[in-house]
Structure 1
Amino acid sequence: MTSRVRIALLLGLAGVVMITLVMAPMLMSTFPSFLGGGSGMTTDCEDGDVINVTNVSNTAQSDIPSDYLQLYKKHGKKIGVQWTVLAAVGKRETDHGRSNLAGVKSGTNYAGAAGPMQFLISTWGGKAKIKVSSKFNGYAADGDGDGWGDVYNPADAILGAAKMLKRNGAPGDLKRALFVYNHAMWYVEQVLEIARRYATDGTLDLPPEADPACDTPIVEAAPDDVVKKILTYALAQRGKPYRWGGTGPAGFDCSGIIYMAYRSAGLSIPRTTFGQWPFGVKIDKGAEQAGDLVFFNAGPGTSASSPGHVGMVVSPGKMIEARCTLCGPIKVTTYRDRPNIVGYTRPLQNSDVQGQLKRLGVT
């Protein structure tokens, strides 16, 4: 009893925690799916799956099985969430799959949760193993490339957990993302404390796509100086809030940040998403480059011919976007696995913009 009271005092839960600590490892959020890396001493701005052990604390190396550590790092980087937080969820839920409690390796627990990351079968996709297609928008994920999302497969479950955290606020709003994962603030604080112990310096650094230290290679890879100016402005707005109708400096909406980024390079394009869509020259999928726009059939009153959301490509597969009020701050995200993509445009090839470039002395 003394040790439990001590834990309760640390967590600020008083006597209630003695009940919830017993139940919590197997509980998962039932929030619907429509809401919509490495910590440590060094910054890893490149893609790839190789673990840099300098980014992993001694605690993490001794506590996390090597195959799980590889998956946390790989999928954390792929999705853009702190691998330490992803690993801390795995630790808190099932001790990285080592727990022998019901539902971890087969079946479900009393709440209907299953697998090493404890997904409710209903939020996974309705079945423990489901065929994952490019149009699938649930949390079931194919982390090993076999075409199936298996809730008991660590590769699939960890990727699914990364997607869930990202969709609900990570990497910027970790408390919100974790609260959606499990509706308890004591759970949130426990996971964050574990994550800090897994980091070499005890901090929860941003993953590469959210880290300003990684902006230089993105900007330098731009096709010309005009695009470099556009990217520099847009990336500098990262971390600011979404604001309906916003054109800065305090906040932006999805088209507002693009409008102002082009203005920073001396160029005028339409202000709204509905105006930007027909303005740029259409670009085939796979041909998009930095500075191009990617449009989505998302938002009230929109359609495939009148998309309501837009992001700006900053590097292959990555865009900067101001998504929505509840989606966290402006950030760089992945877009190729996002549903409802309508198409891509290149505003710089619009005839009006070509004339503006000539007046600016840009050929």
Structure 2
Amino acid sequence: MMVKLGAAVGAVLLVAVLAAAGVVNAVSSLFGSSSSGHVNCAKPIEDIPPAFCALYVAAARVCPGLDWSILAAIGKIETDHARLDTPGVTSGENFAGAGGPMQFLEPTFAGVLGRHKLPPGGATPPSRYNPHDAVYAAAFYLCDSGAPQDLHKAIFAYNHADWYVRDVLAQARRYADAANLGTGNCAEVRAATPAARVAIEFACAQLGQAYVWGGDGEAEGGFDCSGLTKAAYHAAGVELPRTAHTQHDAGPLVPAGETLLPGDLVFYGTSRDIHHVGLYIGAGQMIHAPTFGQVVTIGPYRWPGDDYYGATRPHSAVST
């Protein structure tokens, strides 16, 4: 599809008890999601241990549409990804009976095992203290409780507290944003949405193409700046206007001061004359067709004396 722009009873985790003991970390942020299939756990994502990151990403797939960051946020808030030095994390139970990195009550964990078969790779028999088994069980439990269609309901089932839901969603957004800030190079494209990823990959394939005024691609011998961004988003199923100015006006605008995401378009000029546009790919870098005599290249999106005007997020119009 082308998008045109410009037109359960008891068996829950007793985190509230842990919170009263002062061991739950709440983070104030906004929730967002990312594509689990494109998360690179080999590179540090905030404070998540790589082995746990890989588990969160893999386990999220047993509940289609559940974002890995929700599992990661629960793992963080429950036990700091099993780093919390307190009874009931690696062995034993807390005084409320919870145990393991995802803080399952034994009846809750047993209930999940009664409904689902955990994938290979964990303990024999499955154990709530085994990170593999605990994370997969959490994914199944959330799915049984309404995820991903109703995340609030699912997380509330995990722990009956509105503050807990808010904190999980906030932490999830933090992790998702950290995973999707981009690498700044074409060897490892990282993006928050499939549309942004496709647009970046298309633009990366044009590196070295000549700058041609009014150029829309190979048929004209190259691209100009807005021709490149238009073609990149056309490949992603988003139809942009032709010029830099009209592309900016098509939006949606990224609020000033908000962190840029890979796939955002960055613009230069003034309110009366926006004369250049590039495709942001993270780490302060963009792909763009600079000017006459140059080729499509990667370069910083900010530099001393630039006339940076703002950014838009056309990839937000397509989520799948």
Report which of the two has the higher share of helix: 1
Q: What TM-score do the two structures reach when normalised by structure 1?
A: 0.39
Task: Specify which structure has the bigger relative contact order, considering alpha-carbon pairs within 8 angstroms and separated by 6 or more residues.
Answer: 2
Q: What TM-score do the two structures reach when normalised by structure 2?
A: 0.44
In terms of Rg, which structure is larger? Answer: 2
